[in-house]
């Protein structure tokens, strides 16, 4: 059984401040295979602040540097293909073929982004204006889970 109590923020794993936990269930056996401690608003604020700092650095990188980062991310995820496949099978009860697709799709997403960026103009002319494509900011999403009960007749 695994336990996750950390989030990856600002380049390091940090202990989340949240107190709420959820259990992850293997759908094939209905046994608990792990627990996750959920991040709270303070954790989200810390992550958003780190992302804002990173945006300043990323905004100064060239297109070639960004493409290189995406390709390195693709290679790193590709190295974990077997682990991603096995996790999809255990956590979601995914059939082998679907789990293999999922594990390869993760790395392929970075490859696709790099390919799109290669042909994407970051500076373009529109009429007499020069338009510079740049990041506009960081956002955070707060999700609420609502438990619903089903009444059987």
Give the mean pLDDT of 51-64.
Answer: 89
- Please tell me whether residues 12 and 66 are part of one structural domain: no
User: pLDDT digit string (tens) for 81-117?
Assistant: 999 899 888 887 888 999 899 889 989 999 999 999 9
| CA 13, chain centre distance (Å) | 14
Average pLDDT of the chain to the nearest whole number:
88
Instruction: Select from 17, 35, 58 the last residue of a domain.
Output: 58
Helix (H/G/I), strand (E/B), else coil: 52? helix
Give the mean pLDDT of 32-45.
Answer: 92
CA atoms of 128 and 131, how far apart (whole Å)? 10
- Please tell me whether residues 68 and 129 are part of one structural domain: yes
- Please tell me whether residues 42 and 73 are part of one structural domain: no
Confidence category of residue 153, pLDDT binned at 50, 70, 90 = very low
Q: What are phi and psi of 17, to 5 degrees?
A: -90, -15
User: Is residue 111 assigned to a domain?
Assistant: yes
- Please tell me whether residues 30 and 70 are part of one structural domain: no
- Please tell me whether residues 9 and 74 are part of one structural domain: no
- Please tell me whether residues 97 and 112 are part of one structural domain: yes
User: Is residue 16 assigned to a domain?
Assistant: yes
Confidence category of residue 8, pLDDT binned at 50, 70, 90 = very high
Please name which of 47, 108, 99 lies closest in space to residue 73, comparing C-alpha atoms.
108
- Please tell me whether residues 69 and 46 are part of one structural domain: no
The count of structural domains within the chain is 2
Which domain covers residue 47, as residue numbers? 1-58
Q: Which residues contact 114 (CB under 8 A, 6 or more apart)?
A: 67, 70, 71, 74
């Amino acid at each position: 059984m695994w336990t996750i109590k950390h989030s990856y923020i600002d380049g390091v794993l940090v202990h989340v401040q949240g107190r709420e936990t959820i259990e992850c269930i293997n759908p094939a056996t209905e046994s608990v295979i792990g627990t996750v401690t959920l991040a709270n608003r303070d954790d989200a604020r810390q992550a958003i602040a780190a992302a804002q700092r990173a945006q300043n650095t990323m905004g100064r990188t060239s297109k070639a540097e960004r493409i290189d980062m995406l390709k390195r991310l693709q290679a790193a995820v590709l190295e974990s293909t077997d682990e991603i496949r096995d996790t999809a099978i255990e956590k979601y009860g995914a059939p082998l073929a679907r789990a293999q697709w999922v594990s390869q799709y993760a790395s392929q997403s970075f490859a696709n982004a790099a390919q799109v960026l290669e042909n994407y103009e970051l500076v373009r002319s529109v009429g007499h204006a020069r338009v510079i494509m740049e990041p506009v900011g960081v956002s955070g999403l707060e999700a609420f889970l609502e438990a619903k009960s089903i009444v059987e007749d």
